[in-house]
Chains A and B, each alone.
Chain A
Amino acid sequence: MKSDFSIHSKLINEHLVIETNGYINIHGGESIAKVASSYIDSGVTKIILNLANSKVINSIGISLLIEVIEKLQVVNGTLYFTNMSPTIEKTFTIMGLFIFAQKSETVDAILQQSNS
């Protein structure tokens, strides 16, 4: 049994924006980490993860997001989470993710903040 998961990424004003769709388990987490790593290796230091279409996650998927945070720390980069459901935001808060990552309501809010 496999869950449906898809990912779409684009570079906007030096920010990698990753939009996810579906359950973020090990497979989803690996997809995100793979895309993020390739862009970090090519010099991108700001990554926005848009979770508008991902309402369910598990701790294995989150552990792969922590790997992205760790990789970004090495290059003084930042991971931003946007469009989180209340439950996902609470889960990340429980784990302490916002000590090392940023959150915002929308992708545009982060992009505007960077431009100002």
Chain B
Amino acid sequence: MKLILPCIDDIELIAQSTLDQLQTMVGFSSDKLEQSKILINEAVINAVEHSLTEMNQIFIDFEVRYDELFMTIRDTGKGFEVSEITVPNLTSKIEQKEFRGWGLSIMKNLSDDFSIHSDENGTQVRINVHLID
């Protein structure tokens, strides 16, 4: 399944709805659906907020292969230096009253596999969820 979405607020709801359809067709558990939705939320929100793309579009591929869901989220923004992103720390964030900046950490730790590539041509995130524990 492929989606091309505009970079607008709340557009992750379309991706969530696509996951609902996939669950109906493939038949994975509600827990896996909720996990997948939280992951796709973060990828889409990051793309909308940070891609700064003139094309103003996000490209999403959903692929179910055997018992695994692969979600690839790509934008054509100016990219960023992945190695410069630090692991967020809640204590520091509360002290600094800066509560945002959790997206990559959530994707990395909540997924079963996660990769990111970013350069001046855009950013691509690949998320893997095992549909059967």
**Pair A91/B90 contact, Cβ less than 8 Å:** no
The answer to whether B42 touches A1 (Cβ under 8 A) is no
Residue-wise interface mask of A (1-40) relative to B, using a CB-CB cutoff of 8 A (1 in contact, 0 not): 1110000000000000000000101000000000000000
B119 at the interface (CB under 8 A from A): no
Are A95 and B31 interface neighbours, CB within 8 A?
A: no
Give A76 to B77 CA distance when docked, in angstroms: 44
Do B103 and A59 touch (CB < 8 A)?
A: yes
Residues of A within 8 A of B (CB): 1-3, 23, 25, 55-60, 62-64, 66-67, 69-70, 73, 85-88, 90-91, 94-97, 99-100
- B: number of interface residues (CB 8 Å): 30
Bound complex: CA of A63 vs CA of B96, how far in Å?
Answer: 13
| Known A59-B102, A87-B38; contact A99-B91, beta-carbon cutoff 8 A | yes
Distance, CA A88 to CA B31, complexed state (A): 10
Q: Is the interface of B mostly helix, strand, loop or mixed?
A: helix
Contact segment of B8-16, B52-60, B65-73, B120-128: B8-16
Who on chain B is nearest to A61 by CB?
B41
What is the CA–CA distance of A37 and B85 in the complex, to the nearest angstrom? 32
> Taking A70-B97, A95-B90 as contacts, is the C-beta distance between A59 and B16 under 8 angstroms?
no
CB distance from A27 to the nearest CB of B (A): 8
In the bound assembly, the distance between CA atoms of A3 and B100 in angstroms comes to 21
For A3, A58, A70, A90, the residue with the greatest tally of chain B CB atoms inside 10 Å of its CB is: A58
